């Protein structure tokens, strides 16, 4: 992986997609899928957790450049001025020559370069390279983690909205039931007690609706707080109606006794757990420590250093007023009180601990993938039953409504049929939401990009 290319891609990603693509949303149709896809991306990209990981990626890049710089050229300038006493002089014939100066000075340039460190710096550089790549993977994972959180909160909001719709329908049905009960009571077909009970049922439906409104409001607040925005910028009601239901929920239906979903595609989502980003991130941390441990093996190894110095000074005696030196030095530490040994042991213990975490992570990932696949298939089968139940409850309610209006059945039979129908509709929508969310989990645990546009593409892969 070319590290400069990675940074270049990241910079382009920041500039094009973040700074330009979302500069203005004016004039965009709120019902447009691309509009919401771009809006959600911008909001998620600016979530503090994502920005933090993005900053860590840049930190890792400069940390890597710092490691490379150890093999760079260092150029220092210096100047010294002093006072010596006494001044040493000798006489040669008629001439007096100063052996030392009473006011000496010197200045110059010093160049140093590490030529070879016998694998010490080399292993540090490799560890920094792996760390940089790990941060790049972590950034990608962070985006998907927060998209997953978005879908979870949106699913909760959709369920709350469906329950609110259920209570609105319940009010309509109980209001109609109340009017019918009054008409029947007025002509003496049912007793006054049944009419009073109808009033009580209607009031209960209003109370339930108020609670449903509060529940939906809380669900929306949770989603908006996560995105750090408000409903003026992100219209959740509009998103649920024109994006979620129109593009996802309403596209799922019963077709020839089966749901129009391709289960074979679900079985194809079988990426190995060790190849998932979250596993690669943890394993790369282990690799970083391995190379750090290797570098400690060479911490006390010889280091080959080149030094070149040009020094300009006040002349003394027969010397010139400048010197130029080139030195090639080899130095190493003979004993460090076992500091490098103990440091390496600490690193090795960390590696062992992380490797146990890695093995447990693989097990958990395999289990999660299996669980969500099972849940998805269960949702699929339950959805078939729910459609059949809904059709049955619609017919049952139609019959009981006619019987009650003609005084042939009790109010309890009418209410039971009414509630069963509304509950069947609510259950159907809830199962659809569960199926969609479990599909999101399946994509997540196969490292599929969860951005809205890509999710829509993968949604149509399973819809026949």
Which pLDDT tens digit goes with each residue over 113-135? 998 888 889 999 999 999 999 99
Average pLDDT over residues 332-344: 84
At 298, the pLDDT band (50, 70, 90 cuts) reads confident
Per residue, what are the HEC states of the chain? CCHHHHHHHHHHHHHHHHHHCCCCCCCCCCCCHHHHHHHHHHHHHCCHHHHHHHHHHHHHHHHHHHHHHHHCEEEEEEEEECCCCCCCEEEECCEEEECCCCCCEEEEEEEEEEEECCCHHHHHHHHHHHHHHHHHHHHHHHHHHHHHHHHHHHHHHHHHHHHHHHHHHHHHHHHHHHHHHHHHHHCCCCCHHHHHHHHHHHHHHHHHHHHHHHHHHHHHHHHHHHHCCCCCCCCHHHHHHHHHHHHCHHHCCEECCEECECHHHHHHCCCCHHHCHHHHHHHHHHHHHHHHHHHHHCCCCCEEEEEEEEEEECCCCCCCCEEEEEEEEEECCCCCCCHHHHHHHHHHHHHHHHHHHHHHHHHHHHHHHHHHHHHHHHHHHHHHHHHHHHHHHHHHHHHHHHHHHCCCCCHHHHHHHHHHHHHHHHHHHHHHHHHHHHHHHHHHCCCCCCCHHHHHHHHHHHEC
Q: Over the chain, what is the mean pLDDT? A: 87
d(Cα 223, Cα 40) in Å, to the nearest integer?
Answer: 11
Q: Does residue 4 register a pLDDT over 60?
A: no
The string of pLDDT tens digits covering residues 263-290 is 999 988 888 989 999 999 999 999 999 9
Fold type of domain 3-71+119-300+337-462: Outer membrane efflux proteins (OEP) (1.20.1600)
d(Cα 31, Cα 182) in Å, to the nearest integer?
Answer: 43
> What are the angstrom distances between the C-alpha of 62 and each of 4, 19, 66, 131, 157?
11, 23, 6, 11, 42
- Which tokens in the block code for residue 370? 């299996």
Q: Does residue 99 register a pLDDT over 60?
A: no
Q: Does residue 217 register a pLDDT over 50?
A: yes
Q: What is the pTM of this model?
A: 0.83
Please enumerate in sequence order all residues whose Cβ is within 8 A of that of 298, keeping only pairs 6 or more positions apart, or say none: 117, 118, 119, 120, 123
For residues 442, 448, 454, 459, the Cα torsion angle rounded to the nearest 10 degrees is: -20
Residue 18 has what pLDDT? 46
Residue 21 has what pLDDT? 42
The string of pLDDT tens digits covering residues 363-377 is 999 999 999 999 999
Architecture of domain 73-116+302-335: Single Sheet (2.20)
- Domains of the chain by residue range: 3-71+119-300+337-462, 73-116+302-335
Q: Does residue 354 register a pLDDT over 90?
A: yes
Lowest mean pLDDT among 1-10, 82-91, 236-245: 1-10
Average pLDDT over residues 220-248: 95
Q: Does residue 28 register a pLDDT over 60?
A: no
Residue 43 has what pLDDT? 96
Residue 7 has what pLDDT? 54
The string of pLDDT tens digits covering residues 408-464 is 888 788 889 999 999 999 999 999 999 999 999 999 999 999 999 999 999 999 998
Q: Does residue 72 register a pLDDT over 50?
A: yes
Residue 105 has what pLDDT? 78
The string of pLDDT tens digits covering residues 409-424 is 887 888 899 999 999 9
Percent of the chain with pLDDT over 90: 63
Residue 313 has what pLDDT? 78
């Amino acid at each position: 992986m070319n590290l400069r290319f990675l940074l270049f891609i990241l910079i382009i990603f920041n500039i094009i997609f973040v700074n330009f693509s979302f500069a203005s949303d004016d004039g965009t149709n709120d019902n447009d899928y691309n509009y919401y896809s771009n809006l959600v991306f911008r909001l998620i990209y600016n979530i503090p957790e994502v920005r933090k990981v993005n900053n860590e990626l840049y930190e890792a890049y400069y940390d890597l450049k710092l490691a490379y710089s150890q093999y760079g050229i260092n150029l220092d300038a210096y100047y010294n001025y002093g006072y010596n006493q006494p001044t040493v002089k000798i006489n040669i014939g008629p001439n007096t020559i100063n052996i030392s100066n009473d006011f000496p000075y010197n200045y110059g340039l010093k160049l140093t370069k590490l030529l070879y460190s016998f694998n010490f710096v080399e292993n540090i550089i490799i560890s920094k390279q792996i760390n940089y790549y790990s941060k790049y993977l972590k950034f990608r994972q962070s985006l998907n983690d927060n998209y997953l959180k978005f879908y979870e909160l949106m699913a909760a909001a959709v369920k709350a909205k469906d329950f609110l719709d259920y209570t609105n329908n319940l009010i309509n049905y109980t209001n109609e039931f109340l009017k019918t009960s009054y008409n029947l009571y007025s002509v003496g077909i049912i007793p006054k007690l049944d009419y009073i009970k109808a009033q009580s049922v209607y009031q209960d439906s209003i109370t339930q609706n108020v609670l449903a409104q509060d529940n939906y409001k809380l669900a929306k607040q949770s989603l908006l707080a996560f995105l750090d925005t408000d409903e003026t910028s992100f219209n959740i009601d509009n998103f649920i109606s024109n994006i979620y239901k129109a593009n996802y929920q309403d596209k799922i239906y019963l077709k020839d006794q089966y749901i129009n979903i391709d289960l074979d595609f679900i079985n194809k989502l079988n990426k190995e757990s060790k190849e998932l980003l979250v596993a690669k991130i943890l394993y790369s941390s282990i690799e970083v420590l391995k190379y750090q441990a290797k570098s400690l093996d060479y911490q006390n190894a010889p280091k080959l250093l080149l030094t070149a110095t040009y020094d300009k000074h006040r002349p003394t005696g027969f010397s010139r007023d400048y010197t130029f030196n080139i030195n090639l030095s080899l130095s190493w530490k003979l004993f460090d009180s076992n500091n490098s040994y103990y440091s390496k042991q600490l690193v090795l213990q960390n590696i062992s601990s992380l490797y146990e975490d890695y093995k447990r992570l693989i097990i958990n990932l395999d289990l999660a993938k299996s669980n969500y696949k099972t849940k998805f298939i269960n949702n699929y089968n339950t959805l078939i039953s729910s459609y059949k139940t809904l059709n049955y409850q619609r017919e049952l309610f139609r019959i009981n409504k006619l019987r009650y209006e003609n005084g042939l059945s009790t109010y309890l039979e009418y209410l039971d049929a009414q509630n069963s129908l509304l509950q069947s509709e609510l259950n159907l929508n809830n199962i659809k939401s569960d199926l969609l969310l479990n599909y999101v989990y399946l994509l997540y645990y196969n490292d599929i990009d969860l951005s809205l546009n890509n999710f829509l593409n993968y949604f149509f892969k399973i819809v026949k």
